[in-house]
Homo-oligomer: A and B are copies of this chain.
Amino acid sequence: MAKGLPKRGNDYSAWYNELVKKADLAENSAVRGCMVIKPYGYAIWEKMQQTLDKMFKDTGHSNAYFPLLIPKSYLSKEADHVDGFAKECAVVTHYRLKNAEDGSGVVVDPDAKLDEELIIRPTSETVIWSTYKNWIQSYRDLPLKVNQWANVMRWEMRTRLFLRTSEFLWQEGHTAHSTKGEAIEETKQMLDVYADFAENFMAVPVVKGVKTANERFAGAVDTFCIEAMMQDGKALQAGTSHFLGQNFAKAFDVKFSDKDNKLEHVWGTSWGVSTRLMGALIMAHSDDEGLVLPPKLAPIQVVIVPIYKSQEQLDAISEKAKEIQKALQALNISVKFDDRDLRPGFKFADWELKGVPVRLAMGQRDLENGTVEIARRDTKEKNTYQLDGVIESIQKLLDDVQENIFNKAFDYREAHITPVDTFDEFKDVLENKGGFIAAHWDGTSETEDKIKDLTKATIRCIPLNNKQEEGACILTGNPSTQRVLFAKAY
């Protein structure tokens, strides 16, 4: 166990907080709720960005950049949107500081008050749709498929590193289409992209579904989501894709002339994932020794630790190790040769804490025998390999680790989806087992609110392609046609 890391089983929450700090991923800053993402954490985020960015481009999107600041009045143009975001906006009111007359430092210059206050974007629909108005005239300008990588700000009262911070990094896609059908198709396509990324890169299985009205994005007609399950049985919303209908097009008067020269409002979508994914990645796989990273997103995929008693031994081992490093790097595998002047045991613990998927150790005996000891981070299994053919073995091991941690998370989730038919059962499972609870619900926001008040559980989603069956709402007994997924959530 990493020094000072609490055990997951004892205090999951403390374990997470400490792990984020001890593994050098992120820390709190002096500004309440705003984090510093440290180099090792940022390197993981960069891998996520690169992978997603390619997926967005492969599906025909281009990147662009829109202003950080949004005129206050823009927010009000879409009625639901302002209700959803006004309560957590950072507001810029002045554009200059000046020296305090008492010499105590700088103060806001009252002569530099803005005519209209500006808010720091909590999301960019308003500023983007106000721009799209100028970009879209005709059906020939559609579809317009733009993505932005940016920082956004939502003033949160209770924050946690990566999971809920006042400032966070994200991408937000904003597309405009000539037909409703095409916009819905885009919404679902991006949901599929997110699910593909979560499962095949993060190794986190997700349920694709649609949100209920209560949990819908402020301004959307429908919000689709991917929901993941953490190791404590709580749910984490990992990405959302919104079908906006014509709501923002109407709010910002964005029309196009179709092939018959008829003016119509444009159909929109928006979709985003954020540094919250870092939280999901950490919580889905890691253990009491530290991070467990999927090889596809690990900044360091393989570490080589020399075990030596003399400079001479170190030199001989280094030579062999660097051959292996070079061969792996030629295959685009990132390798660290750790020749720091520290005890091997310390290094092992350090790289376990950092979640490096595969660790090689080489000592004098290995040199003599033409072998190397290889340990995998996920199962902690250790084996001695012949150097002959070791490159292929490592490649296979990386694939195995990627697959195994997905399967482990998948099995955990499958074991924690529990169908229940009564409210007592519901409360019992929620309290003693956790996970997703598949239960009938009468379809009203009122019932959903009541269940939330009574249990803190929310409806995470109505799964796509959900099985239709007759049933009775667990709370009201009213008729229902399908089970929805409830859970306590991050």
Which of A31, A37, A117, A151 gathers the greatest number of chain B CB atoms within 10 Å?
A31
Q: Which residue of B lies closest to A69 (CB)?
A: B31
Cβ-neighbour of A86 out of B37, B42, B106 (below 8 A): B106
Q: Which residue of B lies closest to A39 (CB)?
A: B62
Residues 118-143 (chain A) with a chain B CB within 8 angstroms? 118-120, 127, 130-131, 134
B91 close to A95 (CB less than 8 A):
yes
**Stretch from A72-80, A395-403, A469-477 forming part of the interface with B:** A72-80
Q: Which residue of B lies closest to A115 (CB)?
A: B32
Residues 26-69 (chain A) with a chain B CB within 8 angstroms? 27, 29-31, 34-39, 42-43, 45-46, 62-69
Which of A63, A76, A95 gathers the greatest number of chain B CB atoms within 10 Å?
A95
Report the interface size for chain A: residues with CB under 8 A from the other chain: 63
A92 close to B105 (CB less than 8 A):
no
CB distance from A420 to the nearest CB of B (A): 39
For the complex formed by this chain, how many copies does it contain in all? 2
A98 at interface, CB cutoff 8 A: yes
A92 close to B65 (CB less than 8 A):
no
Q: Which residue of B lies closest to A85 (CB)?
A: B97
Cβ-neighbour of A76 out of B27, B106, B146 (below 8 A): B106
A35 close to B106 (CB less than 8 A):
no
CB distance from A102 to the nearest CB of B (A): 13
B95 close to A92 (CB less than 8 A):
no
A94 at interface, CB cutoff 8 A: yes
A75 close to B39 (CB less than 8 A):
no
Cβ-neighbour of A65 out of B63, B88, B169 (below 8 A): B169
Question: What 1/0 flags go to A407-441 for Cβ under 8 Å of B?
Answer: 00000000000000000000000000000000000
Known: A36-B65, A37-B64. A91 touches B87 (CB 8 A): no
CB distance from A140 to the nearest CB of B (A): 10
A97 close to B89 (CB less than 8 A):
yes
A307 at interface, CB cutoff 8 A: no
Give me 14 A-to-B residue pairs in the complex whose CB atoms sit less than 8 angstroms apart, sorted by A's number. Answer: A27-B131, A27-B134, A29-B131, A31-B67, A31-B71, A36-B67, A37-B64, A67-B167, A68-B68, A68-B120, A69-B153, A69-B167, A87-B96, A92-B120
